[in-house]
Amino acid sequence: MKIQNVKGGYDYLPKEQKIRNYINDILRKIFEEYGYNSIETPILCYYDILSDKYDKESDILKEIYKLSDQGDRELGLRYDLTVPFAKFVALNKNKISFPFKRYEIAKVFRDGPVKIGRDREFTQCDVDVVGLPGQLIEAELLTLFKRVFDQLNIDIYIEYNSRNLMNGLILESKIDEQLLPAVTTIIDKMKKITVDEFKKYLKELALTDSQIEELENNLNLSLEELNKKFDNTSSKYIKIGLTELNALYEYINELGMSKICIFTPSLARGQNYYTGNVFEVFDKKQRVSGSIGAGGRYDKMVTNFINDGTEYPTVGISFGLSSIYELLKNNEMFGDRSDIDFYIIPMNTNIECLKLGNSLREFGYKVEIEMQERKLKKSLNYANKEKIPFVIILGENELESNKFNLKDMFNNKEIVIHLDDLSKIREIVK
C-alpha cells in the first residue's frame, strides 16, 4: 500500500496551518463586524439538491463527488456553501428572522483540475444575506471585500457585471434563448482562451458569423457606451441589467472604490443560478491565475427551494482560503518563530513545573513543558531549533532560592524572576 494523499488534498504542517488560521481569524472578525452570524451545514447532501440548479452539460455537475449510502440513496459532497445555505434557509425559515445574514467557513469538494490555488478539497469562507434586494447591500459587500484584503495586505481589483445585461446582450445578437446557459459558459471563459477558440466554441453551437460579431462588439463596450447604445432598448434584460449596474456604479464612486472596481461585460461567473450583479476579486500582482474571491446575486434559488409565494432575494460573496494562503505563505510577517512563548525544563521538579506552566497559562501565555527527560543541552537545542523565545530551567536550587533565570533565547540574556512575583513576566513578554 502506497501512503499518499488524494490528489488535490493536502496536509498542512503547524507553521502552514498558522497562516491559514490567521486568515480565518481575520475573516471571522470582519464578517462579525458587518453583522453576519456563524452557522454550520452538513458536508453530505442529497445529489438531486446539489444538481437541481444546473443543466446537464454544466461543468460543475462533472465535478461533484457522487456516492450512495446503505439505502442506495444518491448523495454528493457539497461543492460550495451556497446551495447548502439555500437548503438551510428553506428548512429553518420559521426559526430565523429576515433579512438573515450568515457566514460559514467550511470544507467543500470538487473533482476538477488541480492547480495553484485550486484544490479538490478546500475551505470556502462565505457570507450571504437573504431578504435584501437592490444594490446597497451589494455595495456593502464590495467594501467587505476591500476591508478583508486591506487587513491581509493584499492589493486587489474587483471585476463586476450583471447577468441580466449579459443575457440581454446574448439575445440582442438574435441567439436562441435556449442557448443562454451554453453561450454564457463560453463567454465566462473569454479571458482564458484565444479569440479563435472563442469563435470556434460559439460556432459549435451553430451561431453565425454575424451573431458572433455582434456579441463580440457588445462585450467590448464600456458601461458608458452601453448606456448610450441601449438608451431606448426594448430588451427587459438589458434595461434591468443597466439599472443594476448604474446603481452599483454610483455607490462605487461615492465609496471611493472606482480605482479598484472594474466593469467587465464578459464576467459571468460559472454558476447559472446567478440572477443579477456578479463579482470576482483578483490579486493585483497576478501571483495566482484565478480569482481569490467572488460572488453575486442569486434571487431565485432560495425562493424556488421554499416555493411559498414569497420572494427571497439573496446575495453573497466567497473567499478562497487556498488562493489567499498561496499569496501569504512566504510572507516575512509569519517568520519561523514558534507559537510557544515559554519552554519549561524540569530538573527533578515535574510537579512544580506543571504548576508554573499553569500559572503562566493563566496570564494568557502558551507554554510547553519538557517531558522526555532529555539532557539539558538537548532540551536547549530543541528550544533553539523550534525558535521558542523564552526558556525556564526549574531545579531544586531555583525552588530553594524562590527565583529562576528567564532565558531570552533571541537576545542571549537572562532575567531574574521571583516565583512569588510571576506578574513581572508581563512587563518582559508582551
CA 368/CA 299 separation, integer angstroms: 51
Q: Considering only CA atoms, which of 192, 417, 165 is closest in space to residue 290?
A: 192
Give the pLDDT mean for 55-81. Answer: 88
Give the pLDDT mean for 392-406. Answer: 96
**Average pLDDT taken over every residue of the chain:** 93
| Residue 58 scores a pLDDT above 80 | no
Give the pLDDT mean for 392-402. Answer: 96
Give the pLDDT mean for 107-119. Answer: 86
pLDDT in tens, 338-382: 889 999 999 999 999 999 999 999 999 999 999 998 999 999 999
Residue % of the chain over a pLDDT of 70: 98
Q: Would you call 75 helix, strand, or coil by DSSP? A: strand
Question: Residue 200: how many CB atoms within 10 A of its CB?
Answer: 12
Question: Using the 8-state DSSP alphabet, how is residue 174 labeled?
Answer: T
Q: Considering only CA atoms, which of 44, 91, 88, 48 is closest in space to residue 69?
A: 44
pLDDT band of 331, cuts 50, 70, 90: confident
Give the pLDDT mean for 67-93. Answer: 95
Asked which of 30-34, 59-63, 85-89, 237-241 is least confident by mean pLDDT, the reply is 59-63
pLDDT in tens, 166-195: 999 999 999 999 999 899 989 988 888 999
| Residue 406 scores a pLDDT above 80 | yes
pLDDT band of 53, cuts 50, 70, 90: low
Q: Which helix (H) or strand (E) holds 311?
A: none
pTM of the full structure: 0.88
Q: Which whole-number Å values give the CA distances from 220 to 17, 81, 125, 265, 267, in the listed order?
A: 42, 33, 32, 7, 11
The whole-number pLDDT of residue 388 equals 95
The whole-number pLDDT of residue 55 equals 62
Q: Tell me, which fold does domain 11-155+285-335 have in CATH?
A: BirA Bifunctional Protein; domain 2 (3.30.930)
Give the pLDDT mean for 46-60. Answer: 78
Give the pLDDT mean for 151-167. Answer: 97
Give the pLDDT mean for 232-252. Answer: 97
Q: Which whole-number Å values give the CA distances from 12 to 15, 106, 124, 136, 298, in the listed order?
A: 8, 16, 16, 39, 34
Looking at domain 342-428, its CATH superfamily turns out to be Anticodon-binding domain (3.40.50.800)
Output 363 or 117, whichever has higher pLDDT: 363
Instruction: Give me the residue spans of the domains in the chain.
Output: 11-155+285-335, 342-428
Contacts of 63 (CB under 8 A, 6+ apart): 79, 110, 111, 112
Rounded to the nearest angstrom, the gap between the alpha carbon of residue 141 and the centroid of all alpha carbons in its chain is 13
State which amino acid sits at residue 167.
N
Question: What strands, in cross-sheet order, belong to the sheet with 277-283?
Answer: 37-38, 100-109, 121-130, 314-320, 293-297, 277-283, 156-162, 261-263
| Residue 117 scores a pLDDT above 70 | no
The whole-number pLDDT of residue 330 equals 86
